[in-house]
Protein backbone atom coordinates (compact mmCIF):
# COMPACT_ATOMS: atom_id res chain seq x y z
CA UNK A 1 0.00 0.00 0.00
CA UNK A 2 2.82 2.42 0.82
CA UNK A 3 4.17 2.31 -2.73
CA UNK A 4 0.76 3.48 -3.97
CA UNK A 5 0.92 6.47 -1.65
CA UNK A 6 4.41 7.19 -3.00
CA UNK A 7 3.01 7.07 -6.53
CA UNK A 8 0.15 9.35 -5.48
CA UNK A 9 2.60 11.93 -4.13
CA UNK A 10 4.75 11.77 -7.27
CA UNK A 11 1.77 12.27 -9.59
CA UNK A 12 0.46 15.11 -7.42
CA UNK A 13 3.77 16.98 -7.66
CA UNK A 14 4.05 16.27 -11.40
CA UNK A 15 0.56 17.52 -12.24
CA UNK A 16 0.87 20.44 -9.85
CA UNK A 17 3.42 21.91 -12.25
CA UNK A 18 0.67 22.10 -14.88
CA UNK A 19 -2.28 23.18 -12.72
CA UNK A 20 -2.89 24.42 -9.20
CA UNK A 21 -3.74 21.31 -7.20
CA UNK A 22 -1.99 22.02 -3.92
CA UNK A 23 0.29 24.52 -2.24
CA UNK A 24 1.89 21.62 -0.36
CA UNK A 25 4.66 20.06 -2.45
CA UNK A 26 7.31 18.66 -0.10
CA UNK A 27 7.06 14.88 0.30
CA UNK A 28 6.98 15.07 4.10
CA UNK A 29 4.21 17.65 4.14
CA UNK A 30 2.17 15.79 1.51
CA UNK A 31 2.27 12.75 3.78
CA UNK A 32 1.29 14.67 6.92
CA UNK A 33 -1.08 17.36 5.66
CA UNK A 34 -2.78 15.34 2.92
CA UNK A 35 -2.41 11.58 3.47
CA UNK A 36 -2.36 11.23 7.25
CA UNK A 37 -4.91 14.01 7.65
CA UNK A 38 -7.29 12.25 5.25
CA UNK A 39 -6.81 8.94 7.07
CA UNK A 40 -8.07 10.38 10.36
CA UNK A 41 -11.52 9.47 9.00
CA UNK A 42 -10.57 5.82 8.50
CA UNK A 43 -11.61 4.45 11.93
CA UNK A 44 -14.95 6.26 11.62
CA UNK A 45 -16.04 4.52 8.42
CA UNK A 46 -18.59 1.67 8.27
CA UNK A 47 -17.22 -1.81 8.95
CA UNK A 48 -19.05 -3.38 5.99
CA UNK A 49 -19.09 -2.43 2.29
CA UNK A 50 -20.31 1.12 1.73
CA UNK A 51 -20.50 3.96 -0.77
CA UNK A 52 -18.70 7.25 -0.13
CA UNK A 53 -18.85 10.52 -2.06
CA UNK A 54 -16.07 13.07 -1.64
CA UNK A 55 -17.67 16.46 -2.33
CA UNK A 56 -15.35 19.11 -3.75
CA UNK A 57 -12.54 16.58 -3.79
CA UNK A 58 -9.86 18.77 -5.36
CA UNK A 59 -6.75 16.61 -5.64
CA UNK A 60 -8.55 13.59 -4.20
CA UNK A 61 -8.55 14.30 -0.48
CA UNK A 62 -9.81 12.64 1.56
CA UNK A 63 -11.48 10.20 -0.87
CA UNK A 64 -8.60 8.63 -2.79
CA UNK A 65 -6.39 8.36 0.27
CA UNK A 66 -9.20 6.57 2.12
CA UNK A 67 -9.81 4.25 -0.83
CA UNK A 68 -6.18 3.12 -0.77
CA UNK A 69 -6.56 2.09 2.86
CA UNK A 70 -10.16 0.86 2.71
CA UNK A 71 -10.87 -1.46 -0.25
CA UNK A 72 -14.43 -2.17 0.95
CA UNK A 73 -15.35 1.39 -0.03
CA UNK A 74 -17.04 2.25 -3.34
CA UNK A 75 -15.74 5.73 -4.17
CA UNK A 76 -17.30 8.65 -6.03
CA UNK A 77 -15.39 11.92 -6.48
CA UNK A 78 -17.27 15.12 -7.28
CA UNK A 79 -15.62 18.35 -8.40
CA UNK A 80 -16.71 21.40 -10.37
CA UNK A 81 -13.44 21.77 -12.33
CA UNK A 82 -12.94 19.38 -15.22
CA UNK A 83 -9.16 19.79 -15.24
CA UNK A 84 -9.01 18.35 -11.73
CA UNK A 85 -11.02 15.35 -12.90
CA UNK A 86 -8.46 14.77 -15.67
CA UNK A 87 -5.80 14.47 -12.98
CA UNK A 88 -8.01 12.25 -10.84
CA UNK A 89 -8.76 9.94 -13.75
CA UNK A 90 -5.05 9.40 -14.43
CA UNK A 91 -4.32 9.11 -10.72
CA UNK A 92 -6.96 6.47 -10.01
CA UNK A 93 -5.94 4.50 -13.10
CA UNK A 94 -2.31 4.52 -11.99
CA UNK A 95 -3.24 3.48 -8.46
CA UNK A 96 -5.81 0.87 -9.59
CA UNK A 97 -8.54 2.57 -7.54
CA UNK A 98 -12.06 1.95 -8.91
CA UNK A 99 -13.85 5.29 -8.96
CA UNK A 100 -16.80 7.20 -10.38
CA UNK A 101 -15.92 10.77 -11.38
CA UNK A 102 -18.65 13.43 -11.41
CA UNK A 103 -18.15 16.84 -13.03
CA UNK A 104 -20.71 19.04 -11.29
CA UNK A 105 -21.21 21.65 -8.64
CA UNK A 106 -22.38 20.10 -5.39
CA UNK A 107 -25.72 21.90 -5.42
CA UNK A 108 -26.36 20.52 -8.93
CA UNK A 109 -25.19 16.99 -8.21
CA UNK A 110 -27.40 16.75 -5.14
CA UNK A 111 -30.47 17.08 -7.36
CA UNK A 112 -29.48 14.30 -9.77
CA UNK A 113 -31.53 11.13 -9.12
CA UNK A 114 -28.47 8.95 -9.69
CA UNK A 115 -26.67 10.71 -6.84
CA UNK A 116 -29.37 11.98 -4.48
CA UNK A 117 -29.51 9.95 -1.25
CA UNK A 118 -27.40 7.19 -2.78
CA UNK A 119 -24.42 7.23 -0.40
CA UNK A 120 -23.74 5.85 3.05
CA UNK A 121 -21.09 8.49 3.70
CA UNK A 122 -20.31 11.94 2.34
CA UNK A 123 -17.04 13.64 3.21
CA UNK A 124 -15.71 17.13 2.58
CA UNK A 125 -12.46 18.85 3.41
CA UNK A 126 -13.72 22.01 1.67
CA UNK A 127 -13.35 25.46 3.16
CA UNK A 128 -17.04 26.47 3.04
CA UNK A 129 -18.73 27.13 6.37
CA UNK A 130 -20.53 24.11 7.83
CA UNK A 131 -24.12 25.43 7.35
CA UNK A 132 -23.37 25.73 3.63
CA UNK A 133 -21.52 22.42 3.51
CA UNK A 134 -24.55 20.70 5.02
CA UNK A 135 -26.72 21.93 2.16
CA UNK A 136 -24.10 20.79 -0.34
CA UNK A 137 -23.48 17.35 1.16
CA UNK A 138 -26.53 16.03 3.05
CA UNK A 139 -28.67 15.60 -0.10
CA UNK A 140 -26.20 12.91 -1.26
CA UNK A 141 -26.54 10.87 1.94
CA UNK A 142 -29.21 8.21 2.38
CA UNK A 143 -31.21 8.21 5.63
CA UNK A 144 -29.18 6.33 8.20
CA UNK A 145 -25.93 7.54 6.66
CA UNK A 146 -23.56 10.28 7.76
CA UNK A 147 -21.77 13.35 6.45
CA UNK A 148 -18.30 13.96 7.87
CA UNK A 149 -16.98 17.52 7.72
CA UNK A 150 -13.23 17.93 8.24
CA UNK A 151 -12.91 21.35 9.85
CA UNK A 152 -10.21 23.35 11.60
CA UNK A 153 -9.71 23.36 15.36
CA UNK A 154 -12.21 26.20 15.81
CA UNK A 155 -15.04 24.25 14.20
CA UNK A 156 -17.22 24.10 17.33
CA UNK A 157 -18.80 27.46 16.50
CA UNK A 158 -19.55 26.19 12.98
CA UNK A 159 -21.14 23.05 14.41
CA UNK A 160 -23.46 25.16 16.57
CA UNK A 161 -24.33 27.44 13.66
CA UNK A 162 -25.03 24.45 11.41
CA UNK A 163 -27.51 22.75 13.74
CA UNK A 164 -30.64 24.54 12.39
CA UNK A 165 -29.53 24.03 8.78
CA UNK A 166 -28.91 20.33 9.38
CA UNK A 167 -32.43 19.86 10.77
CA UNK A 168 -34.01 21.53 7.73
CA UNK A 169 -32.02 19.18 5.48
CA UNK A 170 -32.97 15.99 7.32
CA UNK A 171 -29.84 15.85 9.43
CA UNK A 172 -28.60 16.24 12.97
CA UNK A 173 -25.19 17.49 14.06
CA UNK A 174 -23.60 14.67 16.02
CA UNK A 175 -20.11 13.79 17.15
CA UNK A 176 -17.12 16.09 17.30
CA UNK A 177 -13.75 14.36 17.27
CA UNK A 178 -10.51 16.27 17.71
CA UNK A 179 -7.34 15.07 16.00
CA UNK A 180 -3.78 16.38 16.24
CA UNK A 181 -0.88 15.51 13.94
CA UNK A 182 2.39 16.67 15.54
CA UNK A 183 4.90 18.42 13.30
CA UNK A 184 8.61 17.70 13.11
CA UNK A 185 11.51 19.97 14.06
CA UNK A 186 9.41 22.74 15.53
CA UNK A 187 6.65 22.63 12.91
CA UNK A 188 3.17 23.43 14.11
CA UNK A 189 0.77 20.70 15.15
CA UNK A 190 -1.97 20.12 12.60
CA UNK A 191 -5.24 20.19 14.53
CA UNK A 192 -8.60 19.27 13.11
CA UNK A 193 -12.17 18.85 14.29
CA UNK A 194 -14.13 16.08 12.59
CA UNK A 195 -17.86 16.80 12.76
CA UNK A 196 -20.52 14.21 11.96
CA UNK A 197 -23.92 15.21 10.64
CA UNK A 198 -26.21 12.19 10.81
CA UNK A 199 -28.89 11.77 8.14
CA UNK A 200 -32.10 11.02 10.04
CA UNK A 201 -34.70 11.64 7.31
CA UNK A 202 -34.91 12.43 3.61
CA UNK A 203 -33.88 15.90 2.46
CA UNK A 204 -36.92 17.95 1.32
CA UNK A 205 -37.13 18.27 -2.49
CA UNK A 206 -36.49 22.04 -2.42
CA UNK A 207 -32.91 21.45 -1.24
CA UNK A 208 -30.20 22.01 -2.26
CA UNK A 209 -31.10 25.46 -3.49
CA UNK A 210 -29.61 26.74 -6.76
CA UNK A 211 -26.24 28.43 -6.32
CA UNK A 212 -27.66 31.87 -7.14
CA UNK A 213 -30.27 31.50 -4.40
CA UNK A 214 -27.69 30.31 -1.88
CA UNK A 215 -25.54 33.34 -2.73
CA UNK A 216 -28.48 35.72 -2.41
CA UNK A 217 -30.17 34.27 0.67
CA UNK A 218 -27.11 33.00 2.50
CA UNK A 219 -26.82 29.77 4.52
CA UNK A 220 -29.87 28.13 6.05
CA UNK A 221 -30.47 29.14 9.64
pLDDT-derived band of residue 10, with 50, 70 and 90 as boundaries? very high
CA–CA gap between residue 76 and residue 118 (Å, rounded): 11
User: Is the distance from CB of 165 to CB of 220 less than 8 angstroms?
Assistant: yes
Q: Which pTM was predicted?
A: 0.96
- Tens-digit pLDDT profile for residues 61-107: 999 999 999 999 999 999 999 999 999 999 999 999 999 999 999 99
Residue 98's alpha-carbon distances to 22, 48, 55, 113, in angstroms, are 23, 17, 17, 22
DSSP-H helix ranges across the chain: 2-16, 27-29, 37-39, 63-69, 82-95, 106-109, 130-137, 156-168, 211-217
pLDDT of residue 188: 81
Enumerate domains of the chain plus CATH numbers: 2-217 (3.40.50.150)
pLDDT of 164 above 80: yes
d(CA 96, CA 196): 29
Residues of the chain above pLDDT 90, percent: 90
Q: What is the per-residue pLDDT for 44?
A: 98
Amino acid sequence: MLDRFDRYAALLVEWNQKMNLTAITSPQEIVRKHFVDSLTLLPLLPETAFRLIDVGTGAGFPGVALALACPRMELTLLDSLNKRLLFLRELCTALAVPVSLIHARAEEGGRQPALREQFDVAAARAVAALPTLCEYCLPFVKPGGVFWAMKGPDGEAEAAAAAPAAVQLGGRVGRRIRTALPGEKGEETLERLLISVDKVSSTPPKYPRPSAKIAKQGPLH
